[in-house]
Amino acid sequence: MSAEGALANRHIVLGLSGGVACYKAADFARELVKAGATVQVVMTEAACQFITPVTMQALSNRPVYTSQWDAREANHMPHINLTRGASAVVVAPASADFIAKLAQGRADDLLSLLCLARPLAGDRGVPLLVAPAMNREMWAHPATQRNVAQIRADGTTVLGPAAGDQACGEIGDGRMLEAEELRDELIAFFQPKALAGRDVLVTAGPTFEAIDPVRGITNHSSGKMGFAIARAAAEAGARVTLVAGPVHLATPRGVRRIDVQSAEQMLAAVLPEARRHEIFVATAAVADWRPASVATQKIKKDAPSQGAGQSAGHVPALSFVENPDILATVAKLPTGERPFCVGFAAESHDIVRHARAKLVRKGVPLIVANNGPATFGRDHNALVLVDAAGERALPPSDKLTLARLLVAEIAQRCPRRASTPATATAASA
């Protein structure tokens, strides 16, 4: 999803400590600028061995700072001036040595100095985020783990690391997140935490109802709206479980995903999860019917007829049975097990009228209506919120923006449970 403008009016101090992952910092700086942020780069002496300040200056459109003795500042105090008015300090890559400095409060270069001297309290407080990057053995070392635990306790947000191939040729934890992942983590960091500590269950995408081993019935739903809602809920601080039909979309970071195919499989996945979640957003375009029977082998045409020179293929007769109504089933769970239910209505005409009928039929407090044919597969949408009191249209926008507006709306409408059942465990994509 596009991040254009997502960091508008944000000023980011981007710090680079020594490590081969400095090459990713170049892309990260570019992504921040594209997202609307202003970026001030600060590099350690070690970082300059891996990438030049000239490169970072070209990408950030600002002079790069490398020394606490930089005379460009009128008061000769860049370690003070650079963080005043900043939205955040992000150190990417953060080496094991630099994390140790943060944990111990050491400040022997400009970057560690400004981290120590940045305001912490009140409206002027400047948050610190670090993206570790190091060899897997360095990351696993007890000293590094102690230091990471200490900086977290001091209020630092740790982004990653990821597991994968490392420059040294080994494979494991310690790899810095990719530029787009870091960008999205930073965007999420600034989102209001309206669902902090709450559990949200989302369904997304179509279902696929098999006719035989190779054919089936489905619809045009891409899953983009549901995935956007899952991401927005995670950004808002929720623990999110996403039950997805057959789609080709990356799982939002921090979201636990369960893949299904058919409506019956989706119901089987949703029901036990619904009891453990406070909020259920049924975005999936679930097939209303499925074939009454599924052929065990591919249904073949008959052999061509003789005489007329044309093929007379056999047309199989299909009968259908109704699929389970997932949203209505969840909405009928006993009090204490029933989450706050939000349904989606993808209609082709008379959108509000059909959505209101669905609101009554399903017995839910909120239906979100949209024009299915106009939005399936696209990145933009227009939504109408339908409840017992009336209707309210959300302005047409990209799906992630609409998802954030919807999540804020749900947070206001949904009372917090007095006691929350066991929660689902969030996992990174």
Q: Tell me the C-alpha distance between 266 and 299, whole Å.
A: 26
> Of 151, 147, 257, 163, which Cα lies nearest the Cα of 201?
257
> For the stretch 242-257, what's the b/e string if a residue is b when 16 or more beta carbons lie within 10 angstroms of its beta carbon?
bbbbbbebebbbbbbb
- For residue 279, give both structure tokens: 């909020």
Residues 166-189, mean pLDDT to the nearest whole number: 92
* Phi, then psi, of 291 in degrees rounded to 5: -60, 140
Residues 106-135, mean pLDDT to the nearest whole number: 93
pLDDT digits (tens, 9 = 90+) for 202-226: 999 999 999 989 899 998 889 999 9
Res 423 pLDDT > 60: no
Residue 65, SS3 per DSSP = strand
Residue 69 burial by Cβ neighbours in a 10 Å radius (0-12, 13-18, 19+): exposed
CA distances from 242 to 38, 176, 205, 263, 416 (A): 34, 25, 10, 15, 20
pLDDT digits (tens, 9 = 90+) for 257-271: 999 999 999 999 999
Quote the strand ranges of 187-262, DSSP E.
199-204, 209-210, 216-217, 239-244, 255-259
Percent of the chain with pLDDT over 70: 91
Q: Tell me the C-alpha distance between 410 and 32, whole Å.
A: 29
Residue 94, SS3 per DSSP = strand
CATH 3.40.50.10300 domain extents, the chain: 199-292+311-413
Check if 168 is active-site: yes
Q: Tell me the C-alpha distance between 210 and 262, whole Å.
A: 8
Q: Confidence band (pLDDT; 50, 70, 90) for 349?
A: confident
CATH 3.40.50.10300 fits 199-292+311-413, yes or no: yes
What is 11-189's CATH number?
Answer: 3.40.50.1950
Q: Tell me the C-alpha distance between 35 and 252, whole Å.
A: 18
CATH 3.40.50.1950 domain extents, the chain: 11-189
Please enumerate in sequence order all residues whose Cβ is within 8 A of that of 418, keeping only pairs 6 or more positions apart, or say none: none
Average pLDDT, the chain: 89
Tell me the whole-structure pTM to 2 decimals: 0.85
pLDDT digits (tens, 9 = 90+) for 122-134: 778 999 999 999 9
Residues 77-81, mean pLDDT to the nearest whole number: 89
Residue with tokens 């949904």, as numbered in its chain: 414
| Catalytic-role residue among 48, 168, 341, 414 | 168
- CA 54-59-62 angle, to 5 degrees, is 70
